């Protein structure tokens, strides 16, 4: 990589980062982080790059999901387990519907910092720095809480390490075993239409598993039935943290630099300026990376960014995560796809139907409507069909908790329900029932897209 150093981003303008008062303190924390063990291993990262190459070619489908922002207060085993279970349920629905491998990536184990639309928040004429996620400051509205604290980077490392440890245990220790797929249902989903649909699908898979077991392929002798690959990702926003966890791969031939804070990092829509720090840092690491593309993305700018981030045009290196909004998905996405297609540059296309569809309910809560989310997902598939390109995956903000943050869905959350269980630290998330509903919609779109008949349910329920 020409002219790139692990810290070359520091010479460039940077957006959306906190200003630390005590420079010595942050430097000390960076030093401490830089001698801590990596959270992920280069070989895993390389394997994900291969998987993402399959996504770009339409040989696999990407499912990326998790909290908008993780928080210290909600960091516990139950929350991690429940999010994991919902992701498994969605994955199994998608695998069945598409007959493709589903690449599972959590927005987990590091998603603790947030870009904000304004650096300051004003309440009753008091103006304080905005809350930028638990990696930076505290949500409480007072001077001390809002002061950026470098120690938080160490806390994020610790929390992420323990999350990742549990996820690895779940992924390979028996939780993901396909014979347990009935157990992934969460208590509060029971009794809903989505739970019925899921049960019917789970029964079908169980029959197939019984057949395969009879043929001699069992979870004991076949790891693919017992385990799953689960990867982690977050927005690479706090580059002090990322740089300290960027390591040279010493074990294998490829001599590159790897971010070891997660398998995949993405660049946010607000920090994708080609001459600025975030793009500079990301261009030098060997991980698969994502680039969020909002409605303001210009096709020519996008091509330049792609060339900068993936100069060798390696498949699997770059995934474009479009977040256009339900009404603009067609008009804004088509010119981007068209430009990329003509250029011959290799990218994966992923749909984030969350961030372009955030609205304020009359009660003041930030929310998203299931209808808008579904419309954007459908629009994303439609444009790709028209352009003869690959709708490679989806990126959701969801949780295993029974929250009421997005409105609509079969288990109707209304605007007046929003206050019941509105717990997010940032954007409104899909709850488990809404996540499943979306997975079923996607499974239908995918089976149509691949011209395979996969009626998921025999009865109209």
Residues that bind ligand TRP (CB under 6 A): 88, 91-92, 95, 101-102, 176, 178, 224, 227-229
Task: From the list Mn ion, ligand TRP, none, pick the one residue 224 interacts with, judged by a Cβ distance below 5 to 8 Å according to partner type.
Answer: ligand TRP
Q: How far is the CB of 170 from ligand TRP (least distance, A)?
A: 10
Choice between 68 and 90, CB closer to Mn ion = 68
Site membership for Mn ion, residue 68 (CB under 5 A) = yes
Task: From the list Mn ion, ligand TRP, none, pick the one residue 413 interacts with, judged by a Cβ distance below 5 to 8 Å according to partner type.
Answer: none
Choice between 138 and 427, CB closer to Mn ion = 427
Q: Which tokens go with 34?
A: 């830089």
Q: How far is the CB of 193 from ligand TRP (least distance, A)?
A: 21
Contact 116, 18 (CB under 8 A): no
Contact 316, 51 (CB under 8 A): yes
Site membership for Mn ion, residue 238 (CB under 5 A) = no
Task: From the list Mn ion, ligand TRP, none, pick the one residue 175 interacts with, judged by a Cβ distance below 5 to 8 Å according to partner type.
Answer: none
Contact 333, 383 (CB under 8 A): yes
Residue nearest to ligand TRP according to CB distances in the complex: 228
Q: How far is the CB of 47 from ligand TRP (least distance, A)?
A: 13
Q: How far is the CB of 67 from ligand TRP (least distance, A)?
A: 20
DSSP string spanning 205-272? HHHHHHHHHHTT--TTT-HHHH---EEEEEE---HHHHHHTEEE--SSS---EEE-S-SEEEE-TTS-
Task: From the list Mn ion, ligand TRP, none, pick the one residue 176 interacts with, judged by a Cβ distance below 5 to 8 Å according to partner type.
Answer: ligand TRP
Choice between 70 and 280, CB closer to Mn ion = 70
Task: From the list Mn ion, ligand TRP, none, pick the one residue 68 interacts with, judged by a Cβ distance below 5 to 8 Å according to partner type.
Answer: Mn ion
Site membership for Mn ion, residue 427 (CB under 5 A) = yes
Site membership for Mn ion, residue 249 (CB under 5 A) = no
- β-strands 366-368, 358-360 pairing: antiparallel
Give Cα 421 distance to the centre of its chain: 23
Task: From the list ligand TRP, Mn ion, none, pick the one residue 252 interacts with, judged by a Cβ distance below 5 to 8 Å according to partner type.
Answer: none
390: left (phi over 0), alpha (psi -120 to 50) or beta: beta
Q: How far is the CB of 87 from ligand TRP (least distance, A)?
A: 8
Distance CA 388, CA 398 (A): 30
Q: Which residue has the tokens 């400051």?
A: 137
Give Cα 132 distance to the centre of its chain: 18
Distance CA 133, CA 131 (A): 6
Binding site for Mn ion (CB under 5 A): 68, 427
């Amino acid at each position: 990589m020409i002219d790139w150093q692990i810290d070359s981003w520091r010479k460039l303008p940077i957006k959306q980062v906190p200003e630390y008062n005590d420079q010595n303190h942050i430097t000390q924390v960076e030093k401490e982080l830089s001698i801590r063990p990596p959270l992920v291993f280069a070989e895993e990262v390389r394997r994900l790059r291969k998987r993402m190459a399959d996504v770009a070619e339409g040989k696999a489908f990407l499912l990326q999901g998790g909290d908008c922002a993780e928080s210290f207060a909600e960091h516990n085993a139950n929350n991690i387990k429940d999010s994991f279970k919902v992701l498994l349920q969605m994955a199994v629905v998608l695998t069945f519907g598409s007959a493709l491998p589903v690449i599972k990536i959590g927005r987990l184990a590091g998603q603790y910092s947030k870009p904000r639309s304004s650096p300051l928040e004003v309440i009753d004429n008091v103006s304080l720095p905005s809350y930028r996620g638990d990696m930076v400051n505290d949500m409480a509205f007072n001077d001390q809480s809002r002061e950026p604290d470098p120690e938080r980077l160490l806390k994020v490392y610790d929390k992420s390490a323990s999350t990742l440890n549990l996820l690895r245990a779940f992924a390979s220790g028996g939780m993901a075993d396909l014979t347990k797929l009935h157990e992934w249902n969460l208590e509060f989903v029971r009794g809903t239409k989505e739970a019925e649909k899921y049960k019917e699908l789970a029964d079908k898979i169980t029959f197939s598993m019984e057949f395969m077991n009879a043929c001699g392929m069992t979870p004991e002798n076949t790891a693919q039935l017992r385990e799953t690959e689960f990867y982690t990702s977050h927005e690479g926003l706090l580059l002090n943290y990322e740089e300290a966890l960027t390591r040279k791969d010493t074990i294998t031939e490829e001599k590159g630099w790897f971010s070891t804070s997660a398998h995949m990092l993405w660049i946010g829509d607000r920090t994708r300026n080609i001459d600025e720090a975030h793009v500079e840092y990301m261009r030098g690491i060997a991980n698969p990376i994502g680039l969020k593309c909002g409605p303001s993305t210009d096709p020519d700018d996008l091509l330049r960014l792609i060339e900068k981030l993936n100069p060798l045009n390696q498949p699997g290196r770059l995934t474009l995560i479009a977040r256009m909004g339900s009404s603009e998905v067609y008009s804004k996405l088509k010119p981007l796809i068209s430009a990329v297609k003509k250029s011959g540059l290799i990218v994966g296309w992923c749909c984030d139907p969350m961030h372009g569809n955030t609205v304020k309910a009359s009660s003041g809560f930030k929310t998203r409507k299931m209808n808008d989310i579904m419309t954007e997902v459908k629009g994303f598939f439609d444009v790709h069909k028209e352009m003869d390109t690959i709708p490679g995956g989806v990126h959701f903000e969801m949780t295993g908790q029974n929250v009421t943050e997005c409105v609509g869905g079969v288990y109707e959350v209304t605007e007046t329900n929003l206050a019941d269980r509105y717990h997010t630290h940032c954007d409104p998330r899909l709850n488990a029932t809404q996540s499943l509903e979306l997975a079923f919609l996607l499974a239908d779109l995918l089976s149509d897209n691949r011209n395979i008949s996969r009626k998921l349910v025999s009865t109209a329920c």
